[in-house]
Amino acid sequence: MIKLLKDEEKRTVLFLAISFISVVISFLNVGDLPFDVAWLAILLCGIPIIKGAVVGLVTEFDIKADVLVSIALIAAVIIGEIFAAGEVAFIMAIGAYLEERTVAKARAGIEKLVHLTPTTARVARNGEEVIVPAEQVKVGDILRVLAGETIAVDGIIINGQTSVNQAVMTGESLPVDKSEGDEVYSGTVNQYGTFEMKATKVGEDSSLQRMIRLVQSADAGKAKIVGIADRWATWIVVIALLSAVATWLMTDEIIRAVTILVVFCPCALVLATPTAIMAGIGNATKFGILIREGDALERLSAVKRIAFDKTGTLTYGKPDVAAVESFNPSLTVAELLSLTASAELRSEHPLGKAIVTHYKLASNPSLPEPSDFQMLAGRGVSALVDGRRILAGNVELLGDNSILLPPTIVDKADTYRNDGCTIIFVSVDGEPSGFIALSDTLRPDAVNVVRKIEKLGVKNVLLTGDNRQAASHMAKIAGIQDIHTDCLPENKLAIIEEYQSRGDLVCMVGDGVNDAPALKKAHVGIAMGGIGSDIAVEAADIALVGDDIKSIPHLLALAKRTMNTIKFNMAISMALNFVAIILAMAGVLGPVVGALVHNAGSVAVIINSSLLLHWKENKK
């Protein structure tokens, strides 16, 4: 399929090149040829236009700009004005080619989502554990999930403790501890412990399958932008025909009528949008912005809100140590951090790795090796460091070891929790000794980006799967007032639908698989192209190649500038056409000169659009 598309594009470029040469030769009247070589342009560029116009009229009664072009071509040929016909055919073919280049091809994002679907599941039947295809799992079946496996269906844990990576569903940066009675979702990954679960939603009802359907429905429901010339085509055709017929009847000169049809051809109008959009796309590329959908800039210029995902978009999506608090008089903060980092040295948990990384960056990179290391799923770690028993984990871990946290530690930890931090409590030799607070890190440009977006008249929204405490803290720092938390993919999609039903068109910025439905549903979707998942990028209209959100205000301003350029292009083309029509009616212009004059509008449009390539927003 790709090879066929490339072959077709090569053929189109070849036809355009031949047509251009033939039109130039015809205009300069080079050589003593037995026929006007502009016929090549008519055959290679004009026939496809006429064919498309006829098919559209007959099958759908669809009047587009190519209907008027076809009439002008045929009329010019009938009266022997071959150059005029060839020139119009060539310009229209150029416009169609540019438009095709800006229209995105079908995306493969849904296929990649399907590949995430687990194919098998471990089911307990008749006292035995059997591996069955995931689609054969029934509601009520008992499943066993090992560490590292993808959960096949939605269900509730009935035995065991673990940590589950739910990024595919919620976008949360950290694994979520799970124990008996907790819900788990299909497509999420069991990271550490082994557990048993009871299936509650299977097959098409599972969370992952629902998300796939959301992506499909959101894409189908997004309206496609119609070309400006085609939008007004019916009126253009009617006015042109009436003007031509009236002139013919009043002057009895058919050549004037044909000239009106030629100068009325919306060549510059057809070029107004694609040339500006292609120049805008070229400008965006310089700022590390990949525009995947041709009409994305046109749509982006109309958005009223920008909805940000939090993790990986406004933040880096990686935990970092925010604070270390020691409540043991015999341990300094540095000593508590060192003991905890040593205990976590062999941990595979992201929080443990973050503590070790922080220690190595902040002080001596060497750490004493832990002994008797145990990783306790859903709880934390236990290890001997320099002969001292270290426990690092959650409240449940200390409770399991009969260690009670004094109110002073609990109260202090709550202040960090209110700021969205995750707390790792630490005990040394059975004594509660302090805690380490970890949190996601806001991107340094986030505050400035939010402020600039507000200045452009667009409101900021936060849509995240994180809890309200973590989200509110980051939103407050960034300066975002409108916050929606604990969002699953369908929640994000529903919120965007609600905004857009009120006339507030939304641009969604996200990075994870869970953002794919929202990216599709939004009027415009922007994905973080570097760290973002392939599925998020495939679902989006625009990708930020370097994950640099500071380019978003420029992108918004560029979209508005592009639309202003398109409107100016239309004004140039319509004003020139209006003057040419008056002159054609008066008999001042013939078909050949008329074609050249009206072609000047196309040149003006291209030059004006090219100015966008180097446009940059004025810094204030």
Residue positions counted in the chain: 620
The answer to whether 187 and 118 are in contact (CB under 8 A) is yes
Specify the 3-state DSSP secondary structure of 584. helix
Structure tokens given for 296:
């994305």
Rounded Cα gap, residues 271 and 134, in angstroms:
52
Which of 340, 352, 112 is closest to 211 using CA atoms?
Answer: 112
Which of 73, 5, 8 is closest to 41 using CA atoms?
Answer: 73
Which of 347, 400, 377 is closest to 145 using CA atoms?
Answer: 377
Strands (E), 479-574: 482-484, 506-510, 524-528, 542-544
Specify the 3-state DSSP secondary structure of 347. coil
Strands (E), 58-194: 120-125, 128-133, 142-145, 154-159, 162-165, 176-178, 183-184, 189-190
C-alpha neighbours within 13 Å on the C-beta side of residue 516:
31
Which of 350, 349, 346, 351 is closest to 367 using CA atoms?
Answer: 346
List phi, psi (to 5°) of 152.
Answer: -80, -35
Q: Under 8 Å CB-to-CB from 179, ≥6 apart: which residues?
A: 157, 160, 161, 162, 378
What's 43's DSSP letter?
I
What single-letter amino acid sits at 129? Answer: E
Q: Under 8 Å CB-to-CB from 406, ≥6 apart: which residues?
A: 327, 432
Residues marked active site are found at 309
Helices (H), 108-266: 109-115, 167-170, 207-220, 228-231, 233-251, 254-264
Residue 213: CB atoms within 10 A of its CB come to 15
Helices (H), 401-458: 407-417, 446-455
Specify the 3-state DSSP secondary structure of 616. coil
Rg (the chain; Cα; Å): 32
- Where residue 386 falls (left for φ over 0; alpha for ψ -120 to 50; beta otherwise) is left
Burial 145-180 (b: 16+ CB within 10 A, else e): beeebbbbbbbebeebbbbbbbbbbbbbbbbbbbbe
Rounded Cα gap, residues 588 and 570, in angstroms:
24
What single-letter amino acid sits at 511? Answer: D
Degrees to nearest 5, angle at CA 53 with 49 and 58: 150
Q: Under 8 Å CB-to-CB from 212, ≥6 apart: which residues?
A: 110, 113, 114, 117
